[in-house]
């Protein structure tokens, strides 16, 4: 016993290799869906995302019943940061899902319309 440690070994991994808890796809995939601002919001919000390479992108907002509002139809977009404004004034209060598809990868995040 003299000098031997009874602590278990510590396993370490880079954060980029872990699954995300907040709805983002790990950055190594090259697709980042940022939190919208403001959230919650009453009439409009900004939705931003970043692509690490030019790819086909589709962005939609889905309500609690599964109805989809298409913000960006499938189209090729350049790499870099993109930002769009969603005008939610015709939609009722509630929780919506923003879904981003790009390059075979999909990520989503919940947003709240509050009036």
Over residues 55-89, the pLDDT tens digits come to: 999 999 999 999 999 999 999 999 999 999 999 99
Q: Whole-angstrom Cα distance, residue 110 to residue 95?
A: 7
The pLDDT of residue 6 is: 64
Other residues' Cβ atoms within 10 Å of the Cβ of residue 22: 7
Higher pLDDT, 9 or 88: 88
The pLDDT of residue 72 is: 94
Over residues 19-39, the pLDDT tens digits come to: 444 444 444 468 999 999 999
- The pTM of the full predicted model, rounded to 2 decimals, is 0.74
> Where does 22-113 sit in CATH, by number?
2.60.40.2550
Q: Whole-angstrom Cα distance, residue 113 to residue 109?
A: 13
Cβ contacts of 56-59, under 8 Å, gap ≥ 24: 56/102, 56/103, 57/82, 57/100, 57/101, 57/102, 58/100, 58/101, 58/102, 59/84, 59/98, 59/99, 59/100, 59/101
Domain spans, the chain: 22-113
94 pLDDT more than 50 = yes
Closest CA to 78 of 49, 46, 35, 47: 49
């Amino acid at each position: 016993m003299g000098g031997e440690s009874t602590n278990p070994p510590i396993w370490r991994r880079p954060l980029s290799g872990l699954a995300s808890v907040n709805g983002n796809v790990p950055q190594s995939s090259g697709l980042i869906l940022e939190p919208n601002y403001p959230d919650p919001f009453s009439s409009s919000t900004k939705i931003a995302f970043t692509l690490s390479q030019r790819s086909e992108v589709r962005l939609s907002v889905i309500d609690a019943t599964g109805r989809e509002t298409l913000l960006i139809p499938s189209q090729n977009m350049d790499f870099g940061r993109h930002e769009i404004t969603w005008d939610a004034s015709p939609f009722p209060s509630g929780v919506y899902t923003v879904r981003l598809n790009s390059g075979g990868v999909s990520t989503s995040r919940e947003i709240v319309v509050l009036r």
